[in-house]
Amino acid sequence: MYSKFESPFSTRYASDEMQYLFSADMKFRTWRKLWIALARAEQAEGLDITDEQIAELEAHAEDINYDVAEAREREVRHDVMSHVYAYGVQCPKAKGIIHLGATSCYVGDNTDIIIMREALRLVRAKVINVLALLARFAREHKAQPALAYTHLQPAQLTTVGKRATLWMNEFLMDLGELDHRIASLRLRGAKGTTGTQASFCELFGGDSEKIKRMERRIAAEMGFDAVVPVCGQTYSRKVDAQVVDVLSGIAQSASKFGNDMRLLQNFKEMEEPFEKHQIGSSAMPYKRNPMRCERICALARYVITDSVNPALTASVQWFERTLDDSANKRIAVSEAFLAVDAILQIMLNVCDGLVVYPKVVEARVMAELPFMATENIMMRAVKKGGDRQELHERLRRHSLAAAKVVKEEGGKNDLIERIAADASFGLTMEELSEIMHPALFVGRAPEQVTEFLEHDIDPLLAQNRELLGAKAELKV
């Protein structure tokens, strides 16, 4: 095993559930389900297919004789016909009706759609669990004042919980796109070699109603409300591009979260979980690197870049189809899902163990708050009889002097002490301390957190209660 390349998605990143969805076993079992659905539908619409033949197909739906299929493929170089042959070996009575009227894309493309839908559902469940963990965190810290940043420079105050709602809102947007894409997916159906259903016209004597009913039966058996209205040999490759665009959106949201957390860990305000025996650096034993969030950002970058692949593939399909899509899409689409699955696994782990250091958060707030409080201080002084214009100028001078102490001398922000010592303001240190309470500067942030959770998140979590409680296991 050490002499061949192994994908990190299998060994380090993606969950067993997501890996199975893109496994050979999932693919070939689904092929057999589609062949059974085709046979049932054709029988129901009058073709000479017996119950005994269908029962034989059903009896061997799961026990795939891979050795026979692989030996046959080495001989004929065609995966679908190799599996048709292998299925026929197990089902001699049904051998003649397997894949009847179908082209390779009947099993190939329909299976791709089915797998993508199941994978999107798995992604959806994990996004909902991320939202649940962040909701718990936001509710707990909704009133904890914290520095907000614009241009990565201290701006006004926010709260720790309010910042978490910004992360949540982006994942909520992604969830809307996920739900739309899942609801929009349609089976390719049984369209024949170039999408004209000519082979089925031959089988059903040109009876269009029977052909349409056959497709509806297949779709229903595979859990779909409809098939695509028209296609060539394949479903439109724009579908892959649209699906991976959704995954890219999730990667973008996760990367935003990961980058914010990396910065906050540098500020020592917040940290991702750090295990008891975890080593942060081979050379610096004291280090606590944000390795989980760094991995989120790294994988997100991969997914965002990978989303170009299906878009380019969709743009270069010639007429009813070309085969230059196959090698690319089997890598690009599957790895986008595996990477997003890994990202969400890490997100679940991080969000379940977020650490906040309130004293550090408060200290960083208080270091900047004197500058932010100047307008409130000026208004209080004006109420006590001060001249607004004169006070403004004095505040400007005091602020510059205090900033110089901080930046050039490395000292403490002494703006409040300067104002207390200036008789023009007529304010005592006690009065200034009242003005300097951080909670007075967070606006509606705590209320916004409550409103967002109660209006947008709690109903969603209640509707998806059966999905909650996903466990996050990091392989390495």
Whole-angstrom Cα distance, residue 368 to residue 364?
7
281 is catalytic: yes
Tokens coding 229: 């209205």
- Largest Cα span, the chain: 104
- Tokens coding 376: 């409130």
Residue 371 in 3-state DSSP?
helix
> To which H or E segment does residue 271 belong?
strand 270-271
Catalytic, 151? Answer yes
3-state helix, strand, coil in the chain (%, to 5): 65, 5, 30
Catalytic residue, from 151, 277, 282, 455: name it. Answer: 151
* Residues 300, 291: Cα–Cα separation, whole Å: 14
> What is the secondary structure of 405-467 as a DSSP string?
HHHHH-----HHHHHHT-TTT---HHHHHHHT-GGGGSTTHHHHHHHHIIIIIHHHHHHTGGG
The runs of H, that is alpha helices, within 228-290 are 238-267
Contact between 264 and 446 under an 8 Å Cβ cutoff? The reply is no
Residue 131 near residue 461, CB atoms below 8 Å: yes
| Helix (H) / strand (E) containing 210 | helix 208-221
Active-site residue (options: 208, 281, 326, 433):
281
Residue 348, both tokens: 């679940």
Tell me how far CA of residue 374 lies from CA of 31, 383, 390, 432, 441, in angstroms. 70, 14, 13, 10, 12
Residues annotated catalytic, as ranges? 151, 281
